[in-house]
């Protein structure tokens, strides 16, 4: 651990830390991502200090999006679903929508980062993205929790779309307080501790190291980070460390590896038992029921999402097969079809935050509607699975009761 000199800037209303490291002077500003005062402070610091290097809490891919206002025009949503990156895009859209709601449309999420890039380029500073790739962070967080906690986490994100959050400017400024942030994270349920570790603690260490690395490229360094990371960065920045272990994607656990094969094996075993004790006709009746119930409910889900007729048909066809083939899922197949047949317009992406505030906007916005086409057939198919499986157990119970009754009676 290196010895560093830290100064807390008492003259500024914003959370700022200044330190000396590697012969460079480093100023770190903690911001709220929807704060007008944070934007103004970024501009003031760069104008006054004229840093050689400006670090922003963005990964390389997000910085490209921030610098390119027309990046939505280049997004091929069909390719997103084809490459199975829909969960990453959906999470990004949900978080972006939620932040836009908090900003009430007056300030875009990350405007202080845009300002830092613009002002830094204007003064000739080198711009360094210092955050970990968002896809790596989300995947590490996702695989750190169990299956049911993933569902709870995702449902919490989806629920946030239905909440219209009104936050006053005073509340936004209060979000920069260390005490408020620590209290917020301390209230997380214990089963989300691993998620908090990935999203906050790991990134604190990552940001700190990247700022250290940036200090080798200039004498005056200015870093713009979320206020929630400020103290964590200060704890880590005195130690030079490798980041390789923080970029590694975790391997699936044993349960995640066997789960796709476990349910099909159980169903096939039960069907074989049904045929053995109930006869071939009973097995055929069950399979017909399986196809009709799962296919119909998946198709109804696609219909509720106002999917294209071809997408509805594909959802029906894919649903009975989805439990036995991890590649063929009704929601994924229907959404892939929908993204090909009804490609979203640029304005659909630009109006995601606005449209998500209105219930009817979910169907009017092609981007959001495609995700409805992705989720609702899957939900319908899952309901069908429970219904038909319950009927299978009931049928087997009747057969065994009759079979053993005959044995005992005989």
Q: Model confidence over 200-257: pLDDT tens digits?
A: 889 999 999 999 999 999 999 999 998 888 989 999 998 898 999 998 887 776 777 7
Is there a contact between 240 and 212 (Cβ–Cβ < 8 Å)? Answer: yes
Is there a contact between 272 and 286 (Cβ–Cβ < 8 Å)? Answer: no
Residues linked to residue 18 through DSSP beta bridges, in sequence order: 7, 27
Confidence of residue 184 (pLDDT cuts 50, 70, 90): very low
Instruction: State the helix-helix crossing angle for 178-186 and 227-236, rounded to 10 degrees.
Output: 90
Q: How many helices (H) and strands (E) does the chain have?
A: 20, 6
Q: For all residues of the chain together, what is the average pLDDT?
A: 79
Predicted TM-score of the model (pTM): 0.69
Does pLDDT of 182 surpass 50?
no
> What is the DSSP secondary-structure string of 120-132?
HHHTT-EEEE-SP
Residues 273-324 pLDDT 10s: 988 888 899 889 999 999 999 999 999 999 999 999 999 999 999 999 988 8
Cα distance between residue 222 and residue 360, in whole Å: 44
DSSP state of 13: S
CA 292 to chain centre: 33
| pLDDT of amino acid 371 | 83
| pLDDT of amino acid 213 | 94
Please identify which residue in the block is written with the tokens 């069907």: 271
Main-chain dihedrals φ then ψ at residue 6, nearest 5 degrees? -115, 135
Mapping DSSP to helix (H, G, I), strand (E, B) and coil, where does residue 8 land? strand
Main-chain dihedrals φ then ψ at residue 175, nearest 5 degrees? -65, -15
Distances 170 to 32, 35, 133, 167, 224 between C-alpha atoms, Å: 12, 10, 31, 8, 21
Cα distance between residue 374 and residue 380, in whole Å: 11
Residues 71-119 pLDDT 10s: 655 666 677 667 666 666 666 665 555 555 554 455 566 788 889 999 9
Instruction: Over range 33-50, report the average pLDDT.
Output: 86
Does pLDDT of 261 surpass 90?
no
Is there a contact between 368 and 324 (Cβ–Cβ < 8 Å)? Answer: no
| pLDDT of amino acid 65 | 73
Report percent pLDDT > 70 for the chain.
69
Tokens of 321: 């097969």
Does pLDDT of 168 surpass 60?
no
């Amino acid at each position: 651990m290196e010895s560093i000199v830290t100064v807390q800037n008492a003259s500024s209303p914003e959370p700022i830390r200044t330190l000396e490291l590697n012969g460079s002077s480093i100023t770190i500003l903690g911001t709220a991502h929807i704060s007008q005062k944070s934007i103004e402070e970024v501009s003031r610091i760069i104008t006054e200090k004229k840093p050689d290097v400006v670090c922003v809490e963005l990964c390389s891919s997000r910085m490209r999006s921030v610098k390119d206002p027309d990046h939505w025009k280049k997004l091929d949503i069909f390719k997103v679903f084809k490459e199975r990156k829909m969960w990453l895009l959906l999470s990004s859209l949900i978080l972006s929508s939620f932040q836009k709601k908090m900003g009430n449309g007056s300030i875009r999420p990350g405007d202080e980062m845009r300002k830092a890039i613009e002002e830094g380029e204007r003064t000739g500073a080198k711009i360094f993205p210092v955050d970990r790739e968002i896809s790596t962070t989300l995947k590490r967080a996702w695989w750190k929790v169990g299956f049911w906690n993933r569902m709870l986490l995702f449902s919490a994100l989806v629920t946030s779309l239905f909440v219209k959050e009104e936050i006053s400017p005073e509340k936004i400024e209060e979000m920069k307080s260390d005490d408020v942030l620590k209290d917020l994270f301390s209230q997380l349920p214990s089963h989300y501790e691993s998620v908090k570790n990935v999203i906050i603690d790991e990134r604190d260490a990552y940001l700190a190291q990247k700022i250290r690395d940036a200090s080798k490229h200039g004498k005056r360094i200015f870093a713009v980070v979320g206020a929630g990371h400020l103290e964590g960065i200060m704890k880590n920045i005195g130690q030079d460390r490798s980041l390789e272990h923080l970029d590694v994607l975790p391997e699936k656990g044993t349960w995640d590896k066997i789960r796709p094969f476990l349910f099909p094996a159980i169903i096939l075993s039960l069907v074989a038992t049904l045929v053995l004790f109930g006869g071939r006709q009973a097995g055929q009746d069950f399979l017909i029921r399986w196809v009709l119930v799962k296919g119909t409910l998946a198709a109804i889900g696609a219909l509720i999402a106002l999917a294209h007729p071809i997408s509805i048909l594909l959802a029906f066809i894919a649903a009975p097969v989805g439990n036995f083939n991890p590649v063929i899922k009704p929601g994924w197949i229907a959404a892939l079809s929908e993204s090909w047949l009804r490609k979203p317009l640029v304005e659909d992406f630009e109006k995601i935050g606005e449209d998500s505030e209105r219930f009817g906007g979910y169907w009017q916005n092609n981007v959001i509607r495609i995700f409805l086409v992705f989720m609702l057939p899957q939900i319908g198919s899952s309901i069908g699975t429970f219904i038909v499986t319950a009927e299978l157990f009931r049928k087997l119970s009747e057969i065994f009761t009759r079979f053993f009754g005959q044995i005992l009676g005989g």
